[in-house]
Amino acid sequence: MSTTHRTVQQLHDLRGRTALITGGSRGLGLQLAHALGEAGAHLLISARKASDLEDAATELRAAGHTVDVFAADGRDDAQVLALVDHALATLGQIDILVNNAGATWGAPAEDHPMDAWDKVMDLNARSVFLLTREVVRRCMLPRGEGRIVNIASVAALGGTARSMQAAAYHASKGAVASLTRALACEWGPHGITVNAILPGVFPSKMAQHMLKPDVLAPIVASVPLRRIGDDEGLKGAVLLFASDAGQHITGVLLPVDGGASAVVGA
């Protein structure tokens, strides 16, 4: 146990640390990147489209953050491995891995195309495991420390009549939640924490269909805080899990949903 008493500010300080964020070019991923950059981390953001990454990097650099980019499709194993190669070559080490990239597909379960199922599961679950495995095996295990933050969803907790019909999305996020706890148990003895954030409804491209007034109104009415997420809603959670402030927290699934998941029968 450390005998050094650090302040709260020092415990959240990420200066000198590196962070790889997938799906970091927009939406929740960009918010997460801003949060870690504001705490001082050197960022590497990845997404499928290079043009989107450059736009995000311009925004992050304008905010004073140090950021590199690498375009990779998480559904392609070779590109995932190339991302790890690039991350280690660019950053030297990976202290923090944020698995945020994801996809969804809306369709009634009885009509859900299997190619769409595979697309969602490959990106949301399979690629998360592959990238995490490689980062841990090549970087975190040899150093005996690391922080992994998985972005799941409150959809991991079950279905809801209010949401889109998206069985593959629910299943994939449930897999991420279960994987989070399994890896936390397996890698905890090696100084690696693994936690998951479960966002509720946040403004994003993926959630556009839920932001229509007639759809959004009943959702907001059912949330105890009577609002959806915003551009700051995930910052505190990711900083806690990524920093020494959360050094004794692992295997946690943290809903950030305005209290929606606490409602009985929600």
Q: Read out DSSP for 161-178?
A: TTS--BHHHHHHHHHHHH
Choose the catalytic residue: 70, 117, 169, 187: 169
Please report, for the domain that includes residue 252, its CATH number.
Answer: 3.40.50.720
- Decide if 154 is inside a domain: yes
Cα dihedral value 84, 90, 96, 102, nearest 10: -50
Q: Among residues 161, 153, 163, 156, which one has the least CA distance to residue 216?
A: 163
Sign of the CA dihedral 100, 118, 174, 137?
A: negative
* Domains: count for the chain: 1
- Decide if 74 is inside a domain: yes
- Decide if 265 is inside a domain: no
Provide the domain limits for residue 39: 8-258
pLDDT the model gives residue 158: 83
Query: Does pTM top 0.85 for this prediction?
Result: yes
Low-confidence ranges of the chain (pLDDT < 50): none
pLDDT the model gives residue 9: 97
- Decide if 3 is inside a domain: no
- Decide if 264 is inside a domain: no
pLDDT the model gives residue 160: 66
pLDDT the model gives residue 241: 98
pLDDT the model gives residue 266: 56
Express each pLDDT in 138-197 by its tens digit. Answer: 999 999 999 999 999 999 998 765 556 899 999 999 999 999 999 999 999 999 999 999
pLDDT the model gives residue 32: 98
- Decide if 266 is inside a domain: no
Per the annotation, the verdict on 141 as an active-site residue is no
pLDDT the model gives residue 164: 66
- Decide if 216 is inside a domain: yes
pLDDT the model gives residue 206: 65
- Decide if 1 is inside a domain: no
